[in-house]
Structure 1
Amino acid sequence: MILQNIFKNSETKKQMHQARMLNGQSPIFSQFGQSVYASDVVQMCIDVIATECSKLQPKHIRTDPSGMQTTVKSGINRLFKFAPNELMTTRDFLEKVIWLLYLNYNAFIYPTFEIKKDNRGLEYKEYTGFYPLNPTGVEFLQDSIGKLFVKFQFANGQQFTLPYSDIVHLRKKYSVNDIMGGGMDGQPDHQALLKVLQINDALLQGLEKGIKTSLSIRGILKINTMLDDDKQRAEREKFEAAMARGSTGILPMDLKGEYVDIKPDPKLVDKDTLEFLDNKILNNYGVSIPILTGDYNDEQYQAFYEKTLEPIVIGLGQAFSKTVFSPRELDVGNEIVLYHKNMMYLSTKAKLDLLKTAGEQGLLTDNQKLALLGYPPIKGGDKRTMSLNYIDVDLANAYQMGRAKATKGGAENE
């Protein structure tokens, strides 16, 4: 990626000073602590979350005053359909963003755009790409009128200063710092997790050493005579050669030697202790054992989605919408929504229940029903069908009132 070609709107000549933070901290942050990521459990947790988020379908939609939503034919949807930039597919892009978010507790995305004019002569941004950034340091600056800028420094030493309003900024554990996610210094706060990981690592190392020690010493050769070191060595080599030749399993020995067998019995840490430590790590990332192993049911995945994935989905949509749309565009209903429409994880029974409920209400087209069952679309399958067992509430009330009047009129005529 050639940064010079991407950062066309970089501002380096304007006079600026450090932004003033409410807590008095200096707004300079380095990227970022990574010591916990040596743990295989931590990496597996992040990988599960990033992989699931990579299945999201970003869409530019518009909601009218009546609440009806339509997909907008725009450059944003064209980019998100297959490739947000020339280096990544949409799946790659989302996976990388989530990895950066969990590695740094901050993820920065730079949208490239061109300024164009519509038929009325009004300017608008036509987006040409979205690029996840991985800076080694960021600094927040203000110009003379108080506009906020962010200065990125990268591993190759290059620096670029961009308007903060042009950057999609995602944060995790956004708490004590005014601008950045993580702890007070804008970095991941892993102190509590590190203690658990250190204990877990010490136990695993102890297991390895215990097993090696227990299995490496199989027996003791007791020599029943007084021998010097050279003669002891010769006797041991003679014994080992006899073992190597012992195809029958019977080892011949003379009266000078006695072999004492040691039964291997490695002492391992109990299962409950190891599971307790693993669960503390998993709970920190909101990932359960069934989700990690892929052996989950509908309820377990739904809990994982609501606890771990849904906040990310909402945050992604809001961060993108805030950056790529002007206040006027937001006012008329434009937004970015990330749909989690792939329901293939559902069991067959759950799919059939969904088809029955949504199908009877006319919420799904025939092709959407087929896709839910894993079948390809059919010609003419874009129509919606619904059950006649349902009726509009107002029509039902009118029907019942008409029936009541008819019944009353009939009774009076009698």
Structure 2
Amino acid sequence: MITDRGNGIYGWDGKLYQSDIIRACIRPEIEAVGKLVGKHIREALRKDGSNDIKVNPDAYMRFLLEEPNPFMIGQVMQQKLATQLALNNNAFALIMRDDFGYPIEIYPIPSASAEAIYGENAELSLKFYFNNGKNSVFPYSDIIHLRRDFNNNDIFGDDPGPALTQLMDVVSTTDKGIVNAIKNSSIIQWLLKYSTGLRPEDLKQNAKDFADNYLSLESTSVGVAAVDSKADAIRVEPHDYVPNAAQMDRTTQRIYSFFNTNLKIVQSSYSEDDWNSYYEARIEPISLQFKGEYTRKLFSRRERGFGNYITFDASNLSSASITTKLAFVAMVDRGAMTPNQWLGLFNMPPLPGGDEPLRRLDTVTVTQAEGTKQTENKMLQQLKNKMVNQKSKVYAVDFDGTLCENYYPQIGFAKEDVIKHILQLQDDGNKIVLWTCRSDDLLDEAVTWCEEQGIVFDSVNENLQEIIDKYGSDTRKITADVYIDDRAIRPNELGGEDN
């Protein structure tokens, strides 16, 4: 829990998380947030007006979401932030960047307190104080900040303390009352009343002898006690004075209401309608906040302008009944879902080729049928072009700076006009060879990226087989009729205007 003092927050002593009721309230939320799957989406508008959507187009961003730092995977990171958000109404994570400004690691910040600091140019930074007595200052632009109950403070979410303190006092007092009642109920069970006066030490000895002989498990009297006329054995009836059960239930219900949950969610006895309501009220707002914070802190305004954003998806159909899940097979038939997406509802592994959408040909519309005919005509034209172009040309194409913007070692934004031209060359029956400085994993990423653009190379960083067969070796220089490179220059462009 946190308290707000001026333009900062101060961490609570942690006893809130020690309560079994509080932990039971927030655990379903934390687990659900951990199940969110972070994805990098690049959405652009084609010239024909259709959307060009790519999922996880850059390997470095996919790795960052899957493994934000060497000590935790993405699921654990999200659970950590969700826990801090539930308890403090604030959660922080620090973005580490390389020399080029690209994010490479993300770490949660479990600080004891935080303070907002404004620089000379009104640039905001946050100063964090840690439990070991140290402190650090980070630019707000490098901090993923999640908040809830954002009202009074300009930067931080409001303190949940005042709303919960009284309820937690009631819970604490109730728990202590139950413990004391259990302890007191077993203090005195029998009373020996003597008709004559005895010394204190004799009273203690007689009580001990009575307990050993008749109350001990090792006693041979088999539960039968005998006393003479000097004393009467009187049983003390136990009376447990515990807090009222109705009051305890009302207090627990108020805590459930504070955390937007209920007994069914806490005990996992909910129906699919119960879970959908809980998801929309509690999980979806966190998912949207994750999306907004990750997008604006991991991408620049220019990158966001090119359609890059981070989304956190969850299949809230995981709690649906088997009948509901089976009904979604109709979505697969119509291409609205891929077979692997449908299998994911059952937690089943994907199938090879299952990421391709299917469509039942007996239910196509007239427009779709015309589109299918146009596709067939295009394929026939490509075949004719290949037959006419018996002597096709070989094009050696560079990658960084040619097919995409040069952000080596990362992959830059696609150069749509160049890619369109290369695809047309392929349609005309020409051979395309990728000729790049990239190697190993970087080369594999480039080839995969090109395949996503529709370019499948006839060769990669080596000559075509027919060239090797013709000359008897694979030379270091790629043999081609045309070289396409952003750094190429024609010989006649050297030597001034006279040439």
TM-score category of the 2 structures, normalised to the smaller one: 0.7 to 0.9
Q: Does 1:260 align with 2:234?
A: yes
In 2: Cα distance, 1:310 partner to 1:388 partner: 37
In 2: Cα distance, 1:241 partner to 1:28 partner: 64
In the alignment, which residue of structure 2 is the partner of 1:71?
Answer: 55
In the alignment, which residue of structure 2 is the partner of 1:197?
Answer: 168
Q: Secondary structure at the match of 2:98?
A: strand
**2:283 aligned to 309, 319, 324, which one?**
309
Is the Cα–Cα contact under 8 Å of residues 242 and 252 in structure 1 kept in the other structure? no
In 2: Cα distance, 1:393 partner to 1:29 partner: 63
Q: Secondary structure at the match of 2:222?
A: coil
CA deviation digits over 1:326-379, x for unaligned, max 9?
1122222211100113643322122123334x2243222223323322333333
Structure 1 residues 219, 374: closer, same or farther in 2, change over 3 A?
same
Q: TM-score, normalised by structure 1?
A: 0.78
In 1: Cα distance, 2:163 partner to 2:316 partner: 36
CA deviation digits over 1:305-336, x for unaligned, max 9?
11111111111110111111111222222111
In the alignment, which residue of structure 1 is the partner of 2:180?
Answer: 209
**1:127 aligned to 78, 86, 103, which one?**
103
**2:193 aligned to 196, 213, 222, which one?**
222
Shift of 1:236: 1.5
CA deviation digits over 1:230-270, x for unaligned, max 9?
22222212222321324422112212221122333424444
Q: How many residues align?
A: 357
In 1: Cα distance, 2:290 partner to 2:97 partner: 19
In the alignment, which residue of structure 2 is the partner of 1:106?
Answer: 90
In the alignment, which residue of structure 1 is the partner of 2:18?
Answer: 38
Segments of structure 1 that go 5 or more residues without pairing to the other structure are 1-24, 117-124, 183-187, 397-414
Is the Cα–Cα contact under 8 Å of residues 149 and 162 in structure 1 kept in the other structure? yes
In the alignment, which residue of structure 2 is the partner of 1:80?
Answer: 65
Structure 1 residues 62, 237: closer, same or farther in 2, change over 3 A?
same
Q: TM-score, normalised by structure 2?
A: 0.66
CA deviation digits over 1:197-227, x for unaligned, max 9?
1112212221222232223322222222222
Is the Cα–Cα contact under 8 Å of residues 362 and 386 in structure 1 kept in the other structure? yes
Is the Cα–Cα contact under 8 Å of residues 57 and 341 in structure 1 kept in the other structure? no
Counterpart residue type for residue 78 of structure 1: F
CA deviation digits over 1:163-188, x for unaligned, max 9?
22222111121111011111xxxxx2
Is the Cα–Cα contact under 8 Å of residues 55 and 342 in structure 1 kept in the other structure? no
**1:60 aligned to 36, 40, 50, which one?**
40
Q: Secondary structure at the match of 2:318?
A: coil
Q: Secondary structure at the match of 1:216?
A: coil
In the alignment, which residue of structure 2 is the partner of 1:7?
Answer: none
Is the Cα–Cα contact under 8 Å of residues 333 and 358 in structure 2 kept in the other structure? yes
Is the Cα–Cα contact under 8 Å of residues 34 and 103 in structure 1 kept in the other structure? no
Give me the CA root mean square deviation: 2.5
Q: Does 1:295 align with 2:269?
A: yes
Structure with larger RCO (C-alpha < 8 A, sep 6+)? 1
In 1: Cα distance, 2:299 partner to 2:237 partner: 72
Structure 1 residues 395, 136: closer, same or farther in 2, change over 3 A?
closer
Is the Cα–Cα contact under 8 Å of residues 68 and 106 in structure 2 kept in the other structure? yes
**2:254 aligned to 280, 303, 308, which one?**
280
Residues 151-160 or 164-173, more deviating? 151-160
Q: Secondary structure at the match of 1:344?
A: helix
In 2: Cα distance, 1:211 partner to 1:141 partner: 52
Q: How does 1:171-186 map to 2 (within 5 A)?
A: 171-182=147-158
In the alignment, which residue of structure 1 is the partner of 2:341?
Answer: 368
Segments of structure 2 that go 5 or more residues without pairing to the other structure are 370-499
Shift of 1:393: 9.4
Q: Does 1:153 align with 2:136?
A: no
Q: Secondary structure at the match of 2:63?
A: helix
Shift of 1:390: 5.3
In 2: Cα distance, 1:225 partner to 1:393 partner: 111
Is the Cα–Cα contact under 8 Å of residues 143 and 297 in structure 2 kept in the other structure? yes
Shift of 1:33: 5.8
Counterpart residue type for residue 19 of structure 2: S
In 2: Cα distance, 1:85 partner to 1:180 partner: 25
In 1: Cα distance, 2:241 partner to 2:120 partner: 68
In 2: Cα distance, 1:321 partner to 1:134 partner: 22
CA deviation digits over 1:260-312, x for unaligned, max 9?
22333424444332221111111111121111111211111111111111111
Counterpart residue type for residue 234 of structure 1: Q
Is the Cα–Cα contact under 8 Å of residues 192 and 231 in structure 2 kept in the other structure? yes
